[in-house]
Structure 1
Amino acid sequence: MLSFVLPGIRPARQPGARLAAIAAMIAVLPAAGSAAAGDSKVIAQYEVTLAGIEIGKAAFVVDINANTFTTVSNAKVTGVAQIVAEGKGRAGARGTLVKDKLQPGSFALTADSDSRHLEIQFGFDKAGAVKNLQVTPTPQPRPDRLEVTDAHRRNVLDPMSATLFAVPGTGDVIGPEACNRVLPIFDGVARYDLTLSYARQDTVAAKGFSGTAVVCQVAFKAVAGHRLGRKDIEYMEANNDISVWLVPVAGSRVLVPFRISVATKVGTCVIEAKSFSTQHTEARAAVPAEGGTAR
């Protein structure tokens, strides 16, 4: 379901690895664009556990202003998982936000494990199609792998842009509209859909934050790029125990994951914020110089 439990790190190829790309990535890049309308920001630290045992940590920063967004992440294997695997990764994305609709612009990921270095980069053209795709090392062709076509790379989200949930309209952002959607995701190698549906509201708390989250149930569907007959893919497609808790970014109609829970064959993988800060800075009006006018 998720390609990585941490960005680019696949310990024991655990099923559930691909949804963590939607939640465990994070970091610090300044947002571009006009600051005139004010800026919204999230800074968070997450812990990743499997069957209650810590296996990783991640940091997450999101910057949003009037018409652009930036989200970046870094993560690493920690705890007892270091006995069997070493790894760390960093991912980031930029894009535009117009009328409460996200349009991704670029995505990059770098990850290192004991025996593998992975780099993925791509952008999007004005029509929303992936361009300039670079994957190092190049995936080896296999006769049982379902080919990703150009059609599969149109009107998609990258894994980092998919962590932002824009809610249109003027009503409460903590409601069914936050959940009821399909996320068509391309991660540079595979194409898959995440179908979210509203489950309930819940109270969440971490250092620096407490509030109400909307809880979405998630269903995974492999579309292309995967090997046919893979048991872990079949498991995730039949998995009815995947949920994400979303909380609002202050001063915006965008929500981000606070907690993700994914059932796997060896226990539940949970990615949960341990510290979480969201703030909004109002734009400052231009002050005219003496004897002049503001422009």
Structure 2
Amino acid sequence: MPYLVSSSIRSGARFAAIAGAIAWQCASAAAGETRVNARYDVTLAGMEIGKAALVVDINATNYTAAASGKITGVAQFVTEGKGSAGARGLLTKEKPQPGSFAMTASGDDKQIAIQFGFERGAVKGLQVSPTPQPRPDRIEVTEIHRRNVLDPMSAALFVVPGTGEVTGPDACKRVVPIFDGVSRYDLSFEFLRQETVAAKGFAGTAVVCAVGFRAVAGHRLGRKDIEYMENNKDMAVWLVPAAGSRVLVPFKVSVSTKVGTCVIEAKSFATQYAETRPAAVPAQGPTQGNAAR
């Protein structure tokens, strides 16, 4: 039972953190800064098993994203765990350019730490502790698997190009290649519907996307949990706009597991946009010395 609970939490937390790809377009001619501060409840089969938080800062050229979570409720009697992750990078009009990623997680007397950077779109300086043990049935992660990918946190946000409806079908049309430091996998998204959602500090329309999972490398052949996730047709993410932008962030995630549905849903959701303009430069008059002449 402890394994099933912790496995469900990890699966749900992964989908909360990697719900898509991010890029940026300015919402106006003036530069601006957007902040999202969200708090989530995590439930499994209707019972609380965890809490999570997400903070995102974006502007015309940069982004930072940070998430944290811990096991709570009835689950803490059979297992324990907490973790955090963060990333930063540059933003273009089409896609992010990740700069760095780091995460730590601990539970049941086990700890893992991962960090890496990016150079010209490729993962550089990868550090994983403890080092994964080599196994003959594990699909090797090669150099090509670490190119043109997003880290999990940089993949937590979506951009909807153009000027159309931000929560329309176009928001979901994408396949996101992700490398988390150990595994390489793809997440695919398809439009399901629009839905009204509400939490403390927010009420509005969400776009609901079906989620598909495909393992690429880093996993062991024949693993039943991988097969289950690849065949899982009951995974979805609810996305809502970050204020003042065409960027979407996760509001809710639902993942079917063998022991019930894991749901991560915002209970408070604050998003603010602050327009910033260059300070006015005072007109320069004659200096005191010149005026005396």
TM-score under structure 2 length normalisation? 0.89
Residue of structure 2 in register with 1:196 after alignment: 189
Paired residue for 2:258, among 265, 273, 288? 265
Residue of structure 1 in register with 2:21 after alignment: none
- More helix by percentage: 2
Written as runs of structure 1 = structure 2, the 5 A alignment for 1:1-295 is 12=5, 14=7, 17-18=10-11, 20-23=13-16, 37-126=31-120, 128-289=121-282, 291=284
Q: What is the CA-CA distance between 1:167 and the residue it aligns to?
A: 1.4
Give distance in 2, aligned partners of 1:18 and 1:264: 9
Q: What is the CA-CA distance between 1:197 and the residue it aligns to?
A: 0.5
Q: What is the CA-CA distance between 1:289 and the residue it aligns to?
A: 2.9
Alpha-carbon contact 1:184-1:192 (below 8 Å) kept = yes
Give distance in 2, aligned partners of 1:268 and 1:60: 21
Look up the SS of the partner of 2:276 in the other structure: coil
Give distance in 2, aligned partners of 1:86 and 1:149: 33
Give distance in 1, aligned partners of 2:78 and 2:127: 29
**Identical-pair percentage:** 67
Give distance in 2, aligned partners of 1:168 and 1:101: 10
Structure 1 alignment gaps of length 5 or more: 1-8, 26-35
CA RMSD of aligned residues (A): 1.7
Q: What is the CA-CA distance between 1:177 and the residue it aligns to?
A: 1.4
Residues 13/247 of structure 1: CA separation in 2 closer, same or farther (3 Å cut): same
Residues 24/157 of structure 1: CA separation in 2 closer, same or farther (3 Å cut): closer
Give distance in 2, aligned partners of 1:272 and 1:12: 18
Structure 2 alignment gaps of length 5 or more: 19-29, 286-293
Deviations, residues 148-190 of structure 1 (Å, cap 9, x unaligned): 1111111111111111101112222111111010011110000
From the CA coordinates, give the structure whose radius of gyration is larger: 2
Give distance in 2, aligned partners of 1:132 and 1:116: 23
Count of equivalent residues = 273
Residues 192/24 of structure 1: CA separation in 2 closer, same or farther (3 Å cut): closer
Q: What is the CA-CA distance between 1:12 and the residue it aligns to?
A: 4.7
Residue of structure 2 in register with 1:31 after alignment: none
Q: What is the CA-CA distance between 1:96 and the residue it aligns to?
A: 1.3
AA at the equivalent of 1:121:
Q
Residues 248/199 of structure 1: CA separation in 2 closer, same or farther (3 Å cut): same
Give distance in 2, aligned partners of 1:12 and 1:49: 10
Give distance in 2, aligned partners of 1:190 and 1:10: 20
Alpha-carbon contact 2:56-2:63 (below 8 Å) kept = yes
Alpha-carbon contact 2:8-2:262 (below 8 Å) kept = no
| Higher RCO by CA contacts (8 Å cutoff, separation 6 or greater) | 2
Q: What is the CA-CA distance between 1:291 and the residue it aligns to?
A: 2.5
> Which shifted more, 83-92 or 13-22?
13-22
